[in-house]
């Protein structure tokens, strides 16, 4: 079983406007709402692959009710979200029909109390015992300690599950000492966390701090991965126009599915690049283009660069 | 009793960001939610004046529940909103801390069925019988006929109530034949409705089409009003920086309060300009600066221009 964790679940609202003009009023042509947050999006991509998952995390208030109502419509997802008193956050993405560009507004999320966090960690410990892979994705809501993911990584490992961590800043750095099996920063997050612009050097630093495998996503350039056994670059066969926000979640979904099946690089990287690329043409995170995915699975190039970067 | 009608009630969400940059992601520093829509804002301003009002209109879904929950916190408002099956709309206003500028996104609103409209008009007819003044403000939700306000103006008049109409486009033009006592377009709405840029000429045209009194708001320049008895210009003593979106609602509130007390121009115009100006420094529509209002009540200049524009 794959367990996806979304500590700061969101209601993702997408507004279509003709053209975004600051300091004016806009008539919203279309408004879509759906459950989001990185872990929820990972579960959605897994559903699109025909794989079930268990969704846990924190939700609350009327926005939390809308999140859970929407999750019920996604095949294969079991809702094990833990309630909090505060109202879950909303994100608003304004998409300009004029040029397709997206402008995003992210609320911070509800304040989580120590008692609520304790209730969550108890639930997580019992869910992790049945999980083969646990994905830990996204920002932390206010009130949680920055080592929240470190705690969950340790609990998952004690339960025998493999962990995939996709977060940034202090929550990423504070979790490394707990030894997550895979961390997946994007290139900007990696540089921000390490202060180092060289992808291979920065990834090696995360490994030195405790990460098992580091998978770095670099948008249309694909992935760089370094494991205890080697390093690879994997690239899609072509550059795609669209919305890159869902590509990282699709990448995590592919890594989780591959790890659950016991697959390793380079095969799992090929899948991750193909699925990431298949997310780009879709306007909302969590969706993938199934035809593109099938086509790209055989067309991704994977280069073994073990010798060049012997970290 | 003053009855305010909001056919397209909204949950007004205000996001504070450092600076709005299209095509990027923004962390929302503060998120505020409250009941809105022009008629609700009018009721809020009346409450700030210590005057009660009855709020009716259409609300539905989880967003409608949040609207009603928030209305319960406003002193002196009696909630007589009529439920619809669709989800009420949300508006999102993004305020830049950098320059204080506001960028607004307005959803269209729920689709209203003929049965729901009938249920509303029945409730409205019974409420109007107890009203001295009825304010009809804002856009129409999808599904309503563009002569919806015409129907309500006739019903209110048969019940013996005075009507104040603040809308634009076809809903304004289609209501004029029913003879609203006061219409309050702003200068841009007036020009768009009549195709005429001359305020006095365009206002005379609305009177010829059936409006009793036309009050035109021109932002910091104040009001132009033409009644069966004359024409006036009323201007605030100084220009204020801030958020002009609530000034129109404050103007309608002052007109409604004045009409309920049997007051006429120029006194009622003085109040309307003072209260409109007192709304500008407040960041959200429906709020007024009480000190500024008191100061401005005696400082507004009203010029009788009856002779100059004998329409």
Q: What ipTM does this complex have?
A: 0.86
The closest CB to that of B106, out of A27, A92, A102, belongs to A27
Residue A210: Cβ-neighbour burial (10 angstroms; 0-12, 13-18, 19+): middle
Beta-bridge mates of residue B88 = none
**Range B232-248 burial, b when 16+ CB lie within 10 A, else e:** bbbbbeeebebbbbbbb
Q: Identify the CATH assignment for A2-9+36-87+110-304 out of 2.60.40.420, 3.30.420.40, 3.40.1190.20, 1.10.1370.30.
A: 3.40.1190.20
- The mean of the pLDDT values for chain A is 94
Are B26 and A103 in contact (CB < 8 Å)?
A: yes
B107 CB near a chain A CB, below 8 Å?
Answer: yes
Are B15 and A105 in contact (CB < 8 Å)?
A: yes
Chain A residues within 8 A of B106 when measuring between CB atoms:
25-28
B249 is catalytic: yes
The closest CB to that of B24, out of A65, A66, A103, belongs to A103
Are B108 and A25 in contact (CB < 8 Å)?
A: no
At A154-178, the pLDDT tens digits run 999 999 999 999 999 999 999 999 9
Are A28 and B108 in contact (CB < 8 Å)?
A: yes
Predicted confidence band of residue A306 (pLDDT cuts 50, 70, 90): low
How many Å separate Cα B120 from the centre of its chain?
Answer: 20
A24 CB near a chain B CB, below 8 Å?
Answer: yes
The closest alpha carbon to A88, from A125, A138, A151, belongs to A138
Decide if B197 contacts B188 (C-beta within 8 A).
Answer: no
Give me A176's structure tokens: 């490394």
Active site residues of A: 249
Parallel, antiparallel, or unpaired for β A182-183 and A102-106? Answer: unpaired
The closest CB to that of A24, out of B28, B92, B103, belongs to B103
CATH superfamily of B2-9+36-88+109-304: Ribokinase (3.40.1190.20)
User: Mean per-residue pLDDT for A63-77?
Assistant: 96
Q: Residues near B118 by Cβ (< 8 Å), separated by ≥ 6?
A: none
The closest alpha carbon to B24, from A137, A167, A105, belongs to A105
State how far the Cα of B17 lies from the Cα of A307, in Å rounded to an integer.
47
The closest alpha carbon to B253, from B76, B108, B30, belongs to B76
State how far the Cα of B277 lies from the Cα of B49, in Å rounded to an integer.
15
Nearest chain B CA: its distance from A106 CA (Å): 5
CB atoms within 10 A of CB A308: 10
Give me B26's structure tokens: 């923004």
The closest alpha carbon to A33, from A92, A107, A87, A106, belongs to A92
Q: Residue window 27-46, chain A: list those with CB within 8 Å of chain B.
A: 27-29, 31
Q: Which residue of chain B has the CA closest to A32? A: B107
At B137-159, the pLDDT tens digits run 999 999 999 999 999 999 999 99
DSSP state of B132: S
Parallel, antiparallel, or unpaired for β B25-27 and A102-106? Answer: parallel
Decide if B6 contacts B124 (C-beta within 8 A).
Answer: no
**Range A265-274 burial, b when 16+ CB lie within 10 A, else e:** bbebbbbbbb
Region class of A83: left (phi > 0), else alpha (psi between -120 and 50), else beta: beta
Dihedral of CA B25/B29/B33/B39: which sign? negative
B310 CB near a chain A CB, below 8 Å?
Answer: no
The closest alpha carbon to A87, from A117, A116, A61, belongs to A61
Best probe of the A interface among B20, B23, B87, by most A CBs < 10 A, is B23
pLDDT of B241 reads: 78
**HEC secondary structure over A187-220:** HHHHHHHHCCCCHHHHHHHHHHCCCCEEEEECHH
The closest alpha carbon to B146, from B120, B113, B171, belongs to B171
Predicted confidence band of residue A308 (pLDDT cuts 50, 70, 90): very low
Nearest chain B CA: its distance from A110 CA (Å): 11
Given a cut of 70, the residues of chain B with pLDDT beneath it are: 306-311
The closest CB to that of B105, out of A17, A106, A107, belongs to A17
- Pick the catalytic residue: B12, B147, B249, B289? B249
Give me B124's structure tokens: 């409205």
- CA neighbours within 13 Å on the CB side: how many for B155? 24
| Three-state DSSP class for residue A119 | helix
Phi, psi of B222 (to 5 degrees): 90, -145
State how far the Cα of A205 lies from the Cα of A56, in Å rounded to an integer.
30
Size of interface A-B (CB pairs under 8 A): 81
Are B106 and A26 in contact (CB < 8 Å)?
A: yes
A92 CB near a chain B CB, below 8 Å?
Answer: yes
Residue B70: Cβ-neighbour burial (10 angstroms; 0-12, 13-18, 19+): middle
Instruction: Of A2-6, A29-33, A68-72, B9-13, give the lowest mean pLDDT range.
Output: A29-33
pLDDT of B85 reads: 97
The closest CB to that of A107, out of B20, B28, B102, belongs to B28
Decide if A4 contacts A35 (C-beta within 8 A).
Answer: no
DSSP state of A59: E
Helix extents (H) in chain A = 38-48, 61-71, 114-128, 148-158, 169-176, 187-194, 199-208, 247-260, 267-279, 290-297
Best probe of the A interface among B19, B28, B61, B108, by most A CBs < 10 A, is B28
B72 CB near a chain A CB, below 8 Å?
Answer: no
pLDDT of A30 reads: 86
Chain A residues within 8 A of B32 when measuring between CB atoms:
none
CA distances from A69 to A24, A62, A127 (A): 33, 11, 21
Decide if A276 contacts A248 (C-beta within 8 A).
Answer: yes
Are B24 and A108 in contact (CB < 8 Å)?
A: no
pLDDT of A310 reads: 47
DSSP state of A1: -
Predicted confidence band of residue A307 (pLDDT cuts 50, 70, 90): low
A25 CB near a chain B CB, below 8 Å?
Answer: yes
Q: Which residue of chain B has the CA closest to A25? A: B104
Are A15 and B96 in contact (CB < 8 Å)?
A: no
């Amino acid at each position: 079983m794959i367990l996806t964790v979304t500590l700061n679940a969101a209601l993702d609202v997408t507004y279509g406007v003709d053209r975004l003009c600051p300091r004016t009023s806009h008539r919203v042509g279309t408004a879509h709402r759906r459950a989001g947050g990185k872990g929820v999006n990972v579960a959605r991509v897994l559903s699109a692959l025909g794989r079930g998952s268990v969704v846990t995390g924190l939700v609350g208030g009327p926005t939390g009710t809308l999140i859970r109502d929407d999750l019920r419509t996604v095949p294969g997802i079991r809702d094990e979200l833990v309630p909090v008193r505060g109202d879950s956050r909303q994100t608003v993405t304004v998409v300009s029909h004029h040029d397709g560009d997206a402008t995003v507004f992210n609320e911070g999320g509800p304040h989580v109390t120590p008692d609520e966090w304790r209730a969550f960690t108890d639930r997580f410990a019992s869910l992790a015992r049945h999980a083969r892979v646990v994905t830990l994705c996204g920002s932390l809501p206010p009130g949680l300690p920055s080592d929240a993911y470190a705690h969950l990584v340790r609990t998952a490992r004690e339960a025998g599950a493999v962990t995939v961590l996709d977060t940034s800043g202090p929550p990423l750095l504070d979790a490394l000492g707990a030894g997550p099996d895979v961390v997946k920063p994007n290139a900007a997050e990696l540089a921000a966390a390490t202060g180092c612009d060289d992808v291979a050097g920065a990834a090696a630093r995360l490994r030195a701090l405790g990460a098992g495998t580091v998978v770095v996503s670099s948008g249309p350039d694909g992935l760089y991965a370094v494991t205890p056994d080697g390093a690879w670059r994997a690239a899609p066969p072509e550059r795609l126009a669209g919305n890159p926000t869902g590509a990282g979640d699709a990448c995590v979904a592919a890594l989780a599915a591959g790890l659950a099946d016991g697959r390793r690089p380079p095969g799992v990287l090929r899948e991750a690049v193909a699925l990431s690329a298949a997310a780009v043409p879709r306007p909302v995170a969590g969706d993938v283009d199934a035809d593109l995915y099938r086509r790209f699975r055989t067309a991704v190039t994977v280069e073994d660069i073990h010798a060049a970067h012997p970290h």
